[in-house]
């Protein structure tokens, strides 16, 4: 039972990761791509790492997976804020959005 739950977690996490990668390619400007990266950093890594932790139960490996997750969760907002803030200070502005944004992204 636990094994099935773990498998489902890992597969869903990987699907989220691939979707985030597609978003990184497909979204129109840097500030939108931040959100795609944010998807892969939060729920995707949580699902994959907790799937692996479920697989090994209560052990030192699970503790290490928990630490990896904590590091990722604490550092990912910091680094994405650093990227956004650096780009903003440097003078990068979001692409003008209009009703035709959807067409532009699916080129």
Partner 1 sequence: MVTAYLAAGIAILITMALGLTRALLGPTVFDRILAVNMFGTKAVLLVSVFAYFSGRPDFLDIALLYSLLNFVGVIAALRLVERGKHFANPKESCYEPHGEKR
Partner 2 sequence: MAHKLRLFLTLFALWLLLSGHYNALMLGFGGISVAFVCWLTLRMDSVDKQHFVLPLTPAIPVYLARLSKRIVLSNIDVILRIMGLRPLTPRLVELSLPFSDPLNKVIYANAITLTPGSASITMSDNKLLVHTLSDDSARDLLLGDMLSIMPFQSTEQSLSLNKGEG
- Whole-angstrom Cα distance, residue 65 to residue 73? 12
Q: Report if residue 34 touches partner 2, rule: CB under 8 A.
A: yes
Q: Report if residue 69 touches partner 2, rule: CB under 8 A.
A: no
Cβ 6 to partner 2, closest distance in Å? 18
Distances (CA, A) of 49 to 24, 26, 56, 74, 98: 22, 26, 11, 15, 39
Cβ 79 to partner 1, closest distance in Å? 5
Do 26 and 3 contact (CB within 8 A), yes or no? no
Among 6, 14, 38, 55, binds partner 2 (CB under 8 A): 38
Determine the 3-state secondary structure of 29 from DSSP: coil
76 exposure class (CB count in 10 Å sphere: 0-12, 13-18, 19+): middle
Chain residues that interact with partner 1, rule: CB under 8 A: 3, 6-7, 10-11, 13-15, 17-18, 20-22, 24-25, 28-30, 33-34, 37, 40-41, 44-45, 48-49, 52, 55-56, 60-61, 64-65, 67-68, 71-72, 75-76, 78-80, 82-83, 86-87, 89-96, 101, 104-105
């Amino acid at each position: 039972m636990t094994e099935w739950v773990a498998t489902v977690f890992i597969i869903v996490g990987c699907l989220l990761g691939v979707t985030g990668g597609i978003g990184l390619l497909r979204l129109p400007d840097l500030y939108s791509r931040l959100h795609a990266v944010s998807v892969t950093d939060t729920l995707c890594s949580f699902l994959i790492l907790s799937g692996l932790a479920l697989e090994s139960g209560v052990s030192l490996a699970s503790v290490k997976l928990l630490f990896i997750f904590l590091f990722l969760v604490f550092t990912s907002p910091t680094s994405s804020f650093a990227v956004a803030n650096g780009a903003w200070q440097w003078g990068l502005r979001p692409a003008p959005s209009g009703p035709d944004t959807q067409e532009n992204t699916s080129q």
